[in-house]
Amino acid sequence: MSQPDLLTELRAARPVAPAELREHVRRIAAGAAAERRRRLTWRRALLIAVPVAAAIAGAALLVPGNSHRASAPAVVHRAATPLAPVVQSKAAAGAGSASAIPRPSPNRVQRISATLQLRVPSTEAVSDATKQAVAIARSLGGYPSRVNVDAAGRSGYATIVLRVPKERVQQAVARLSALGTIVGENVAIQDLQTQVDASARKLKRLEARLAYWQSQPQTEQAQKQVASFTAAIAKLKRSRAATVRSASYSTLTVQLTTRPAPAIVQKKQGPLHGLGVAFRWLGIGALYTVALAGPFVLLFVLGWLVARTVRRHREDALLSRS
């Protein structure tokens, strides 16, 4: 027998399935048709999920308004931090001058402070506006607390701190706002009435104690107590008077500058800009994922390789029997 004969004999001896087995397999196949139902495989799920996710992402990125949020005007400057304000408001350029300042309550002790940031066209205008601001404060019964002007260079700058009676603060702000273009405004109102009321109650208690010790025989101890209470009452009265006095004037800080307002960066962004941003963030996310999951994936791959090698060795051993 030659090798081709051997191969021919092997091919010719191809076993044929017995009729019972064929019948059995046909029954299995017939059951398949009855059982046929639509299965949601991960591929089908992915086929649906990916376009839906892409559509949602696209819609979210291309909806007008999202891009405007990123380029909000950068012309609002915050003034100095107000003293624990009860009411604090800020206004940007173009806002109504007096609208940001509520009418002060005549029956309550309130500390009002406001900051106005104004842009003027030239250094000369800085000087003029400074003079006018001081004049406005004086005309309303107020006074300048601090004036700092720098109009020597190409760009001028001035900070004027004014004290204006609180009942005229709205009027003052309205007039000061007319000195230039408003680029920022910050108003803070701190209610001090509770503090003043507490001082009044404490004063009453101290006065009652003082009256008691004054009515007692004036021993050395009684005299010490009278002196102590008298001093405490005087101190408290001074403190309360200072609080009320300081609250009767509002503090207005006017900042004048010749510097143009920072240009609002309005880059021409194409319709795919949002998509680019999304891809950038996706890239960052992918980088983090790779960095964090990399070692685990490596361990998994190594484990899989070892398992596969072991499985093959076992398989070979299994198949080495006749």
Residues of this chain, 232-271, that bind another protein according to CB under 8 A: none
For residue 128, give both structure tokens: 């003029």
Calculate ∠ Cα 79-167-162, nearest 5°: 40
Instruction: Write the DSSP assignment of 189-204 as a string of letters.
Output: EEE-HHHHHHHHHHHH
Nearer to another protein, 21 or 53 (CB): 21
The CA distance from 64 to 59, in Å, is: 10
Report in angstroms how near the CB of residue 18 gets to another protein at its nearest. Answer: 7
141: left (phi over 0), alpha (psi -120 to 50) or beta: left
Q: Is residue 320 a contact residue for another protein (CB under 8 A)? A: yes
CB contact at 8 A, 94 and 162? no
Nearer to another protein, 36 or 68 (CB): 36
Report in angstroms how near the CB of residue 297 gets to another protein at its nearest. Answer: 23
Report in angstroms how near the CB of residue 291 gets to another protein at its nearest. Answer: 33
Nearer to another protein, 267 or 321 (CB): 321
Report in angstroms how near the CB of residue 42 gets to another protein at its nearest. Answer: 11
Nearer to another protein, 18 or 295 (CB): 18
Residue 7: phi, psi to the nearest 5?
Answer: -65, -40
- The CB density around residue 90, as the number of other CB atoms within 10 Å, is 16
Nearer to another protein, 35 or 220 (CB): 35
What is the pattern of x (binds another protein, CB under 8 A) and - over residues 9-48? Answer: xxxxxxxxxx-xxx-xxx-xxxxxx-x---x-x-------
The CA distance from 16 to 304, in Å, is: 39
Kindly determine how many residues on this chain lie close enough to bind another protein according to the rule CB under 8 A. Answer: 39
CB contact at 8 A, 118 and 182? yes
Count of all residues that appear for the chain in the document? 322
**Site for another protein, rule CB under 8 A:** 1-3, 5-7, 9-18, 20-22, 24-26, 28-33, 35, 39, 41, 312, 315-316, 318-322
